[in-house]
Amino acid sequence: MRYIELSTVPSENLDFHYAKGADRLATPWQVAMNRAEFLATLPIPDGPIVDPACGSGIQMVAFANVLSRPALGIELDEGTGEFAAQNIGSVLVSSPNIRGKSGIIIGDGREAKLALEAAEISDSVGFLHLDPARPKNSRTHGLDEMAPQIGETLSAWKPYLTTGERGPAIMLDLSPRLTDSLRTEVEEIVDSVWPNIGRTWEWTSRGRGRIDRLSLWLGAASSIGIKRRFVRIPPDFEPTLIIQGAGRESEIQVSNRYSKPGDMIAIIDSALVESGLVYSWFEDVLSGQSVEWLDVKGRRPTIRHSGLFDLPTPEHNLLIQAKGRVIATFNSPLDEEILELIIDKAQAKSIGDIRVRARVNPREQPRLQSMLDRRLDDRAKGIAFVCNDLVDGSLLLCLMK
């Protein structure tokens, strides 16, 4: 174990330092701060923050900054640990009391006793954040490919965590690529260390239908009665949108009814669908309406619904890629021939802008979109989109509402 002194040079523009190639793996600062601000609303036990696999330290320093607590990071790679010391010191330069009690240890994150002794920390740990390293450039991986191992790390730190009425406060930062079965394995590992501890799964997205982070909040860091939470972080630190509830494990079924002109269609954020909370959201924004799925898989989950959306706040629009009413159907995949028919229909309906939201070859999509943009009269006020109805393979031209 080796203790690294923190840098005290301020970073005015939050230009963080990373080991080579590690910048794309680091938690984005906007996500890190959003999590830290949420954590500050919870009854976290007293004590410092510890991160046994801190990497470049971005998430840890956000926690320390918002919670005004000292933080100890442990990193096996010496070069990465040096960068973490710079990042933490530069953000905490305005908080000398916190910075003076914070530090980086180069060593194995499972050696809890040695790490605390090296940092001269005698207080019990108030919050544990664990983001184990995962294989690079891998679409899937098993839990045994993570380092340090989750179970071994939790067991090692168990004696040193402050435990309140709801147990210790822990957050596991995991790969968004974990399958349902792997998430079940994670819960089994947690139960082997803390049986029946409270838990809340969180899916975090910054848009484009992508899950940026998957995390499991445990004990005092979990939300009572909330099994799942979906967090949509808008750009520029606008209000965060949170959908939460029990979730729905059952597989979504595609409708067997064809769409027809007059039907209401919407393309929903695929990250929300992946979180299993889309039905919880429907209860709020499509209350009492019938909802049928036309396309479930892929980047553009599509529904047919019986009425208008009732959105509580403007931020809820972030979860709708497009919505409108069907004005024409075409029983063919999208190609140049069908595009001509779509353009004719658009001109007759005074539509000046059509967005391609249908399944097409990614190399063809820009060309088809360009053809639409050139041929349509941008002085026409109507706006529409083209999407798929996988029930019968047809294309739907929808006038946006």
Q: What is the CATH number of the domain that holds 50?
A: 3.40.50.150
pTM of the model: 0.92
Domain final position from 197, 213, 245: 245
- List the 291-295 sheet strands across, edge first: 291-295, 302-305, 264-268, 320-330, 394-400, 382-389, 351-356
The string of DSSP codes covering 260-274 is -TT-EEEEE-HHHHH
**Residues 175, 213: contact at Cβ < 8 Å?**
no
Residues 222 and 284 in one domain: no
CATH number at residue 354: 3.30.2130
Lookup: tokens for 140: 């899937």
User: In a 3-state reduction of DSSP, which class is residue 161?
Assistant: strand
**Residues 59, 177: contact at Cβ < 8 Å?**
no
Amino acid at 380: A
- Which domain covers residue 276, as residue numbers? 264-400
Amino acid at 259: S
User: In a 3-state reduction of DSSP, which class is residue 159?
Assistant: helix
**Alpha-carbon span 344 to 351, nearest angstrom:** 10
**Alpha-carbon span 22 to 58, nearest angstrom:** 11
Residues 47 and 169 in one domain: yes
Residues 272 and 389 in one domain: yes
- Asked if the structure places residue 156 within a domain, the reply is yes
- Asked if the structure places residue 57 within a domain, the reply is yes
Q: How far, rounded to the nearest angstrom, does the alpha carbon of residue 353 sit from its chain's CA centroid? A: 31
CA angle (149 as vertex; 31, 179 as ends), nearest 5: 60
Residues 192 and 323 in one domain: no
Domain final position from 196, 216, 245: 245
Q: What is the pLDDT of residue 351?
A: 97
Residues 99 and 50 in one domain: yes
Q: What is the pLDDT of residue 303?
A: 97
- Asked if the structure places residue 258 within a domain, the reply is no
Q: Find the helix or strand (DSSP H, E) in which 104 lies.
A: strand 103-106
- Sorted by sequence, the CB contacts under 8 Å of residue 229 that are 6+ apart come out as 200, 201, 202, 203, 223, 242, 243, 244, 277
What sign results for the dihedral spanned by CA atoms 109, 181, 278, 244?
Answer: negative
- Asked if the structure places residue 250 within a domain, the reply is no
- Asked if the structure places residue 93 within a domain, the reply is yes
Residues 103 and 158 in one domain: yes
Residues 237 and 285 in one domain: no
- Asked if the structure places residue 161 within a domain, the reply is yes
Number of domains in the chain: 2
Q: What is the pLDDT of residue 237?
A: 64
SS (H, E, C) 125-153: ECEEEECCECCCCCCCCCHHHCECCHHHH
Lookup: tokens for 384: 């529409």
Q: Mean pLDDT, 10 residues at a time, over the chain (401 residues)?
A: 71 64 75 95 95 94 94 94 87 80 94 95 95 75 88 98 94 92 96 96 95 96 96 85 83 89 97 94 95 91 96 94 97 92 96 95 94 93 95 94 82
Residues 305 and 210 in one domain: no
Residues 361 and 233 in one domain: no
Domain final position from 245, 277, 298: 245
Residues 116 and 183 in one domain: yes
What sign results for the dihedral spanned by CA atoms 395, 397, 400, 401?
Answer: negative
Residues 139 and 25 in one domain: yes
- Asked if the structure places residue 237 within a domain, the reply is yes
- Torsion from C-alpha of 116, 118, 119, 121, nearest 10 degrees: 40
- Asked if the structure places residue 170 within a domain, the reply is yes
Residues 21 and 97 in one domain: yes
